[in-house]
Structure 1
Amino acid sequence: MIFPVFVTLYGLAHVLIWHVLTAGLGLPWPARLGLGAALAGLGLTPFLARRLDRRGFGILGRVFSWIGYTWAGLVLLFVMARLAADLVLAVSFLLTGAPPAPAARLVSLAITLGLTVALALYAFIERSRIRVETIDIPTTKDVGPSGVLCIAQVSDVHIGSMNGRRRIEALLKRLRDHDPDVVVSTGDLIDSRAGLAVPVTEVLSALKPRLGKFAVIGNHECYAGLAPALAFMERCGFVVLRNCAVTVPGLRIVGVDDPVAGRPGESARNEVRVLRGLSSDGVFTVLLKHRPEVLPGAETRFDLQLSGHTHKGQIFPLGFLTRLYYPAHDGLFRLARASYLYVSRGTGAWGPPFRLLAPPEITLFRVGPGRPDPGGQLAPVVSLAPVGAKEGSAPTVTAFSDRRS
C-alpha cells in the first residue's frame, strides 16, 4: 500500500516540476517534450539503482545511486521551495490586490531554484555533522565498580553506495573520543547488498570497547540478504543478538529481530518469550529493538529500550508522516517508573544524501545510581498487537504513565 502511494506522489512531483519549468521559461512544445523525457529518465534512476544493486553491479550501481537518490531528494526540496515561492506570490497579491504579472512566473521560478539549491547544500552538510547526544539514566541497580556505565548507541548507519569507508572512519573517531564501555547498533547497519562490499570490516573490528559491541538486525539487513549481512556484522566484531540475551559485568543486553526477518507475529512472540525468561536478579537491562514499538506490559521487564528506524523523517517535513505511524518518534520517552524508550534519529542516512532538521547522532547513555533524572516525555507509544491477536490487525496505541503514585 505504501509503495503505490509513494510512486504516485513521486510522479505528481515530477509533473509539478515540468509545469513550473515550462511555464516559467515559456518553453515551446518540442522543448517541453524533451524536458518531460529527461524528467522521466531521472525519475526512474532510483529504481534502476536498486535493481543494479540487487544484480551485483557494484560501480554502475553506485553511480546510479548517487544520481538517482540525489535527484529524489532534490525533487522533495524543489516541491518545498515551490510552496514557499507560491506563498510569497500569494502574500504579494493580497497586499497589492493586483494579479501577478507575466514576469512573476520567472521570478517565482528563480526563487524556487534558489531555495532548492540552498536547502540542498544545507541538508548535504547536515548529513555529515554527527551530533553526540548525552543522556543520564538513573538506576538503583549495581552497574559495576565505576558506578557509571557508558553505553554508546548507533543506529541506521546504512553502509552502502551512499555511505562508504570515510563516513565510517569519521563515526569511529567520534566513538573513540568518548571511550564508551559498550557499543550497540540498533539495526540497519547495512543499507543494501552494496554495503557488504564496502571495505570497513577491518576498521570496525578495530573498535574494541571494554564490554564489547552488540547489534540487532533491522529491515535493511533482511533486504541485503540476512545470511551475508549477519556474516558481515560478525566480521565487524559485533555480537548479533537474535531473540536472546547476554550478560556482561553490570549490564544485561537483550536483542530481538526486526519483524521483516520472520513470519507475521513471530517477532512479537519471540520478544515475549525472551523477556519472560529473564531472571529478576537486579541487573540493569537494555532491550535493543530496531523499531520504536513497545509490547503491552513489556516496559516492566527492561530498564531502557533503544530503537531507531524513524530517522526523525530525515528530511523535513517527512517527519510529520513518520510520526503518524510512530508517535514515539524521536528522543527519550518514559514508559514506567524506572524504564525508558530512546528513539535515535539515526547515525547515517537512507536514500538521498540529505538530512534537513534531523541531524545524525551518536547517543551516549550514562547509567548509574545518583544520575540526574532526564524526565523523559510521557507520550503514547505505538505497540504491536498483543500476542495471539489476529494477524494483519492494526497496531494498538498504549499510553503509559510513570506510575509514581
Structure 2
Amino acid sequence: MIQNSFRHTLAIAEPIPYSLNKAHHLMIVSVFIAIQVVINTYLYCTVANGLGRDSWLVLAIIVFCLISLIAALLMERTNWLKSSLLVSKIGYNWMGVGFIFASVAFVFDSVQWFVPHIGDGTSLSGVVVIGGTISIWGLLAANRINIRHISLHSSKIRTRVTLTQISDLHLGDASTQSRLRKVVKTVNQLGPDLIVSTGDLFDGYLPLMRPYVELLKEMVAPLGKYAVSGNHEVYAGLEEALELTKESGFTVLRNGSVTMGDRIALAGIEDPTARRNEDRVAIAAQCFKDLSSDRYTIFLNHRPSIRPERFERFDLQLSGHTHGGQIFPFHILSKLAYKAKPGLTELAPQTFLYLSRGTGSWGPQLRVFAPPEITHFTINPATL
C-alpha cells in the first residue's frame, strides 16, 4: 500500500458564462429532435405499409413516445421533470427502441429490393420479432454490472497499486438508485486503493441528485476518490455539478494534479466544452507542470483525445465519453471521431490509453454490443 500522503497542486479555472453552454445544448437538442422525427416517420411508414388502416394504434403509440422524448429533451434542465420522470423514462428509452426498430425495418426494406417477393406483412413481422428481441436484450444488458480487470507493470512504482475507474454514469432523469447502489457495492467489493470518475457523473436536473450524492458517499478507497468533468456536467451547469461531485466525496481535478507518496501522481483536465476558446495545449501543460517524469502519472481526460506531444507526460490515460457507441452501429462514429477503440491501447512504449465503455448509459437505458463496465486496474512493479 502506498503511503497516504497528498500534495495538491490543483489549478482552478474561471468558468465561462453558462449561456454559451446552454446555447450549445439547445443546438444539440434541436438536431436530436429533427433526427428523431425522421426516424419515427420512417418507422410509421413501415408499419402503415404492413397494416394499412389498422396502423392508427401504432401511430398513436409512436406519437406519444415521440412527444415524451421531445418533452424530456426540452425540459430536462427544469423542475418540470420533478413530477414527470415516468414520461422522461418513456421518451429516452423510446429514442433507443425506436432507432432499433427503424434500423431493422431499413434492413428488411433493403432486402426487398433484391428479393421482391417478400411481402410487407412478412417484413413487419420480422421487424417486430427482431427489433423487440434486440430491444429487450439491450435493456437487460444496460442493467448488468460488468467488471473488466486490467494488469499493468511499471518500473516507476515500488508496491502494487489498485485503481477502479467509473465513467459516464449519467446520474439523472433516466437512471435509477437501485442500479447506482449495485455500482457502489461492486466498487467497494473490489477494494481499490484509489477510485476515479472520468466525467459525466451527473446529468439532468441537478436539484434531484441528492439521493445519488448520498449513495456515492458510500463508495470509499484509502487513497481517495478523484474526478474530472465531462461535457454533460457543463450542459447541466458546471459549477453546480462539480459541487455535487465534491459533496459525493470526490476531489475534482480542474487542470491540475495531485501526488500520492513519492511515486504516484494523478493529473486531470477539464472537458473542452467548458473552455471552448482556450488553448488546449497550454491547459494540458498546466496539468503536468508540477510533476516529475519519475512518477507513475495517471491522466484523467473525459475524451479519448490522442495527442503525441503528451505521451511523455503520463503513463496511463483514462477516458470515457464514447460509451463504446452504446447502441450498434454508433461505435463506428466514435472510432471515426476519436481514432480510439474501447479497451487498452499502447500509445507508445509503456504509455497506455484505456477507453471505458462507460458505467451507465445516456438517454435510452439500452446497450447493444457495447456492455457497460467498471474497470479495475492493478499496477505492479516491473519486477513482479
TM-score tier after normalising by the smaller chain length? 0.7 to 0.9
Question: What stretches of structure 2 of length at least 5 have no aligned partner?
Answer: 1-26
**Structure 2 match to 1:100:** 117
Cα distance change of structure 1 residues 349 and 310 upon mapping to structure 2, 3 Å threshold: same
1:119 matched to 2:134? The reply is: yes
Match of 2:381 among 360, 369, 393: 369
**Structure 1 match to 2:220:** 208
Aligned residues: 357
Contact 1:136–1:371 under 8 Å retained in 2: no
Match of 1:24 among 47, 50, 75: 50
Cα distance change of structure 1 residues 89 and 263 upon mapping to structure 2, 3 Å threshold: closer
Identity of counterpart residues, as a percentage?
35
Deviation at 1:310, TM superposition (A): 0.3
Name the amino acid aligned to 2:120.
R
Deviation at 1:3, TM superposition (A): 6.1
Contact 1:314–1:356 under 8 Å retained in 2: yes
**Structure 1 match to 2:69:** 46
CA distance in 2 between partners of 1:211 and 1:39 (Å): 50
SS in 2 for 1:192: coil
Contact 2:40–2:98 under 8 Å retained in 1: yes
CA distance in 2 between partners of 1:330 and 1:256 (Å): 20
Contact 1:193–1:225 under 8 Å retained in 2: no
1:263 matched to 2:286? The reply is: no
**Structure 2 match to 1:353:** 365
Name the amino acid aligned to 1:11.
V
CA distance in 2 between partners of 1:195 and 1:158 (Å): 15
Contact 2:155–2:383 under 8 Å retained in 1: no
Deviation at 1:16, TM superposition (A): 1.4
CA distance in 1 between partners of 2:358 and 2:316 (Å): 17
Give a deviation string over 1:284-338, Cα, whole Å, max 9, x none: 1000000000334101111000000000110011111221101113111111211
Deviation at 1:62, TM superposition (A): 1.4
**Structure 1 match to 2:24:** none
Deviation at 1:357, TM superposition (A): 0.6
1:13 matched to 2:39? The reply is: yes
TM-score normalized by the length of structure 1: 0.82
Q: Say which is worse superposed, 10-19 or 238-247, in terms of deviation.
A: 10-19
CA distance in 2 between partners of 1:2 and 1:168 (Å): 27
Contact 1:89–1:100 under 8 Å retained in 2: yes
Name the amino acid aligned to 1:275.
F
Match of 1:140 among 126, 137, 155: 155
Deviation at 1:274, TM superposition (A): 2.3
CA distance in 1 between partners of 2:128 and 2:121 (Å): 11
Deviation at 1:51, TM superposition (A): 2.8
Name the amino acid aligned to 2:44.
W
Contact 1:256–1:267 under 8 Å retained in 2: no
1:337 matched to 2:349? The reply is: yes
Contact 2:78–2:205 under 8 Å retained in 1: no
**Structure 1 match to 2:317:** 305
Cα distance change of structure 1 residues 138 and 108 upon mapping to structure 2, 3 Å threshold: same
SS in 2 for 1:26: helix
Cα distance change of structure 1 residues 20 and 176 upon mapping to structure 2, 3 Å threshold: same
Deviation at 1:194, TM superposition (A): 4.6
CA distance in 1 between partners of 2:210 and 2:74 (Å): 18
Contact 1:158–1:190 under 8 Å retained in 2: yes
Name the amino acid aligned to 1:222.
V
SS in 1 for 2:286: helix
Contact 1:164–1:198 under 8 Å retained in 2: no
**Structure 1 match to 2:125:** 110
SS in 1 for 2:192: coil
Deviation at 1:35, TM superposition (A): 6.0
CA distance in 2 between partners of 1:352 and 1:254 (Å): 32
Name the amino acid aligned to 1:72.
M
**Structure 2 match to 1:386:** none
SS in 2 for 1:57: helix
Q: Counterparts in 2 of 1:167-178, with a 5 A limit?
A: 167-178=179-190
1:251 matched to 2:277? The reply is: no
Question: What stretches of structure 1 of length at least 5 have no aligned partner?
Answer: 94-98, 373-405
Give a deviation string over 1:105-133, Cα, whole Å, max 9, x none: 11211110111111111000000112111
CA distance in 2 between partners of 1:10 and 1:312 (Å): 21
Q: Say which is worse superposed, 330-339 or 8-17, in terms of deviation.
A: 8-17
Name the amino acid aligned to 2:152.
I
Contact 1:182–1:209 under 8 Å retained in 2: yes
Q: Say which is worse superposed, 242-251 or 191-200, in terms of deviation.
A: 191-200
RMSD value over aligned CA atoms? 2.3
Deviation at 1:370, TM superposition (A): 3.2
CA distance in 1 between partners of 2:72 and 2:84 (Å): 5
Deviation at 1:85, TM superposition (A): 3.2
